[in-house]
């Protein structure tokens, strides 16, 4: 039988921390119950909430949670779940140093580790994510890239699975990670059962459709910032990146290099994301058809527009409009 540890961070707790902890505990308990009802032996002998301190709280004690056991009392565990932490990302390791050392030791001893949303910041602090793929809430992806440059950030992916380390995107998509783990540790039938009981959409792969593109602006490169301003103000027009680099008095190759370093995108990719973000808003809030929106954001080729839209969002323009515009009329 196995041992499950759900971590309670000592600091940087947030409302979503509680959601992750309670959700993980509840769903794994229900999975184990279903597993035994099928006549199989209990899979997880112990499911424990573990932390460094006796009590963790948010908002001056509005919500509190008490770990059942100190992490130092757990010599060996099989699966560790790190919940999301506060969106104050400045120092995810503060007051969690013992926790980080413990995570590294447990992983080396054979434990698997799964992080939910911003819990990836704690996991990245261990160094265990260096050179590995990592998913995190799209709104925290840029921070993770800057703070932990050795981590391969995959903001479009909902779940990553690499060498016994799992990560997932943000918000309540931790529920999808839980179903993924349930299927991996139990079986497909148990995962489907939990999906039905808790009414979670199973097998969701991407968070692209939920991303709100906000160009990376905290890079300190004034030339790139001027370029971003221009692209965002003139995206409906026909823009030549070559002419833009000349306008800013920077050679094209140097311009591309600086732009990628600052934003994580090539200038063309950045322009595409700006166009598609505008198209998404139009589909969400207006009755304009696909072609009207396409021309409005500066595309003349319908095939190219559809391909770029699907590449960025994971959905076709029509499917996106159906999903997010309740006044959608089939076109």
Domains of the chain: which residue ranges? 2-208, 222-324
Identify the bridge partners of residue 133 per DSSP, sorted by sequence position.
Answer: 152
Query: Distance between CA atoms of 330 and 328, rounded to whole angstroms?
Result: 6
How confident is the prediction along the chain (331 residues), in pLDDT tens digits per residue? 899 999 988 777 778 888 999 999 999 999 999 999 999 999 998 999 998 877 666 666 777 888 889 998 999 999 999 999 876 655 556 556 778 889 999 999 999 999 999 999 999 999 999 999 999 988 888 888 888 999 999 887 888 999 999 999 878 889 999 999 999 999 989 999 999 999 998 877 666 666 667 777 778 889 999 999 899 888 888 999 999 999 999 999 999 999 998 888 899 999 999 999 899 988 988 889 999 999 999 999 999 999 999 998 888 999 989 888 876 644 4
Dump pLDDT digits (tens) for 35-82.
Answer: 999 999 999 989 999 988 776 666 667 778 888 899 989 999 999 999
97-104: long-range contacts at Cβ-Cβ below 8 A with a sequence spacing of 24 or more? Answer: 98/52, 98/71, 98/72, 99/7, 99/9, 99/10, 99/51, 99/52, 99/71, 100/125, 100/126, 102/71, 102/72, 103/128, 104/128
The architecture in CATH of the region 2-208 reads: 3-Layer(aba) Sandwich (3.40)
pLDDT tens-place string over residues 136-145: 988 888 888 8
Give 222-324's CATH code, choosing from 3.40.140.10, 3.30.465.10, 1.10.10.60, 3.40.190.10.
1.10.10.60
Contacts of 90 (CB under 8 A, 6+ apart): none
The whole model's pTM is what? 0.69
């Amino acid at each position: 039988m196995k041992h499950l540890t759900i971590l309670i961070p000592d600091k940087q707790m947030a409302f979503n921390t509680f959601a992750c902890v309670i959700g993980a505990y509840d769903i794994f308990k229900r999975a184990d119950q279903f597993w035994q009802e099928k006549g199989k032996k209990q899979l997880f002998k112990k499911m424990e909430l573990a932390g460094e301190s006796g009590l963790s709280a948010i908002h001056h004690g509005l919500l509190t949670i008490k770990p059942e056991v100190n992490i130092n009392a757990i010599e060996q565990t099989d699966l560790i779940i790190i919940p999301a932490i506060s969106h104050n990302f400045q120092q995810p390791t503060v007051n969690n140093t013992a926790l980080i050392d413990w995570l590294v030791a447990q992983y080396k001893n054979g434990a698997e580790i799964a992080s939910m949303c911003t819990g990836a910041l704690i996991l990245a602090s261990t160094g265990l994510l260096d050179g590995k793929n990592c998913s995190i809430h799209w709104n925290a992806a840029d921070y993770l890239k800057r703070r932990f440059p050795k981590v391969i950030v995959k903001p479009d992916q909902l779940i990553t699975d690499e060498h016994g380390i799992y990560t997932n995107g943000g918000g309540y998509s931790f529920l999808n990670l839980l179903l993924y783990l349930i299927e991996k540790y139990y079986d497909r039938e148990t995962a489907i059962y939990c999906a039905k009981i808790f009414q979670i959409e199973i097998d969701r792969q991407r968070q692209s459709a939920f991303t709100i593109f906000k160009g990376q602006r905290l890079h300190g490169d004034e030339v790139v910032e001027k370029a971003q301003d221009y692209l965002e103000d003139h995206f409906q027009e026909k823009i030549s990146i070559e002419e833009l680099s000349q306008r800013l008095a920077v050679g094209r190759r140097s311009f591309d290099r600086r732009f990628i370093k600052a934003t994580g995108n090539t200038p063309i990719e950045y322009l595409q994301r700006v166009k598609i973000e505008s198209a998404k808003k139009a589909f969400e809030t207006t009755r304009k058809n696909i072609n009207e929106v396409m021309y409005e954001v500066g595309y003349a080729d319908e095939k190219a527009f559809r391909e770029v839209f699907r590449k960025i969002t994971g959905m076709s323009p029509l499917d996106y409009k159906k999903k997010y515009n309740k006044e959608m009329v089939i076109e």
